Amino acid sequence: MAESGDTGPCEGTPAAESYPKKILEYMEGFLISKTVFTSCELGVFDVLLGAERPLSAEEISEVVGASLDGMQRLLAACTGLQLLNAHTENGQVLYSNTEQARVYLTRSGPLSLYQSIQYSSRTIYLCWHYLTDAIREGRNQYEKAFGVSSEDLFQALYRSDEEMVKFMQLMNSIWNICGKDVVTAFDLSPFKIICDLGGCSGALAKQCTSAYPECTVTIFDLPKVVRTSREHFVTESDQRISFHQGDFFKDPLPEADLYILARILHDWPDERCIELLSRVYKACRPGGAVLLVEALLHEDGSGPLTAQLYSLNMLVQTEGRERTAAQYVALLAAAGFTNIQHRLTGKIYDAVLGHKETDS
């Protein structure tokens, strides 16, 4: 028998049941997220990127205006998370970025996730505080999180110019990393005139014109999004990218060979998706197609975990959900599209392509 005070497993108790390692890791998951968010917000990785040598906690805290004690703890946690390298010289601990931190967590790199992290910290994280309410009520939580009505989804998402720019920067960073994979999952070279519905910052349009030099892309989005994209994201040098202002549920869609809906349908319930896809089908040229870019769930519901968590986020933030490939096939078929296929990219987002038959 175990002596009094012995905390070891009882005889016959499996080790996994005596220490819930995975559950404890899940409980602490938000601690990891906020450590990364805070390190980016304070500019820790940027300070180290601009330094000519590894820096001490004293030097970093002085540059960013933080307490030494707090910075020491933050840097130690980032080292444990393998985001920083720690070096000891003359009894002093010095820090430098790991390669992953240099590429993805500094502000200036072409693959930077800094803006995505800022949006996660300042918007998504606050919405998720009300996840329990979202589950109970079956609707998004913008009113509780930010005091704004969500009757018009994008009025809530774009509740200020600053928030709209943050959202656009989020989308920009995602497509800089994942965009090439989704636009090359299928050979889209036969489609010369492309319309990117809800094209936002134009990052995916740029991936299209890079992968398919003979195509032109029209970004269709709300007037204020188009204005901001022109001001901050798409320059005059992007000569094969143009803009069309409108609401894709209400206004006429430009005629095109291919329509791209990237992270659009997951915002909406099925009936709204069919409504939008029917409008796309009507505008699409015979022989044209529509490309959906979404995080696909496994057909048996077993994962991927990222898509399952994203589906919860769609509940907290929007009116929609993540879906399986079969569910997107059903939506496309209901709108009239045929010869529907899907391709997995091995990353977060996958591709579904549906065709409009040529006239007989």
Q: Can you tell me whether residue 266 is helix, strand or coil? A: helix
Tens place of pLDDT per residue across the chain (360 aa): 444 444 444 555 555 578 899 999 999 999 999 999 999 999 999 999 999 999 999 999 999 999 999 999 999 999 999 999 999 998 899 999 999 999 999 998 889 999 999 999 999 999 999 999 999 999 999 889 888 777 777 776 777 788 888 888 888 888 989 999 999 999 999 999 999 999 999 999 999 999 999 999 999 999 999 998 998 888 878 889 999 999 999 999 999 999 999 999 999 999 999 999 999 999 999 999 999 999 999 999 899 999 999 999 999 998 899 999 999 999 999 999 999 999 999 999 999 999 999 873
Please report the DSSP string for 111-151 in residue order: T--HHHHHHIIIIIHHHHTTHHHHHHHTS--HHHHHS---S
Hey, what CATH topology would domain 179-355 get? Rossmann fold (3.40.50)
Provide the phi-psi class of 288: left if phi over 0, else alpha when psi is between -120 and 50, else beta: beta
pLDDT at 172: 87
pLDDT of residue 237: 80
For residue 357, what are the CA distances in angstroms to 279, 284, 286, 315?
A: 16, 10, 6, 35
CA atoms within 13 A on the CB side of 177: 18
Query: Six-digit token pair at 218?
Result: 């029209």
CA angle at residue 140 from 326 to 171, to 5 degrees? Answer: 70
State the pTM of this model.
0.88
Give the pLDDT confidence score for residue 191 in this predicted structure: 97
Architecture per CATH, 21-104: Orthogonal Bundle (1.10)
Give residue 297's pLDDT.
97
266 is catalytic: yes
Give the pLDDT score at 17: 72
What stretch of H or E contains 44? helix 44-50
Catalytic residue among 244, 266, 342, 355: 266
Q: How many Cα atoms within 13 Å fall on the side-chain side of residue 242? A: 10
Looking at residue 195, the DSSP 8-state letter turns out to be: E
Domains of the chain, residue spans: 21-104, 179-355
> CA 5, CA 135: separation in Å to the nearest integer?
42
